[in-house]
Amino acid sequence: VFFQIFDAFKSRLHDSNSKVNQVALETMHKMIPLLKDNLSPVINMLIPAMVDNNLNSKNPGIYTAVTNVIQALCQHLDNYLLLQPFCTKAQFLNGKAKQDMTEKLA
């Protein structure tokens, strides 16, 4: 059930409607402190959905929301869980998103 919920939620994290996208990111930000390391089974699916289009967004609301989510992940999850997905994203993103992910890795 956990996978089914987050599989459906993942689509909202990169929805073409920016308002839906932003609300999904803000909701994710609220869920992270509650779920913490319980997110480990879905973290490799969620991180790409969160950062792929959002971290280079020109929409300030979306950019702020995704950076807040990344910060919450770093605060509430074991860094070991984040290392691989963050490395992968830092390797394949471009522009400001690549810079942001590289800074988080450092």
CB 4 within 8 A of CB 48: no
Q: Report the pLDDT value the prediction gives residue 72, as an integer from 0 to 100.
A: 97
In this model, does residue 1 exceed pLDDT 90?
no
Q: Give percent above pLDDT 90 in the chain.
A: 92
The pLDDT tens digits for 7-46 are 999 999 989 999 999 999 999 999 999 999 999 999 999 9
pTM of the model: 0.92
The pLDDT tens digits for 74-100 are 999 999 999 999 999 999 999 999 999
Instruction: For residues 94 and 57, give the distance between their C-alpha atoms in angstroms, rounded to a whole number.
Output: 12
Torsion angle of the four alpha carbons 36, 40, 42, 43, in this order, in degrees rounded to the nearest 10: 80
Q: Report the pLDDT value the prediction gives residue 68, as an integer from 0 to 100.
A: 97
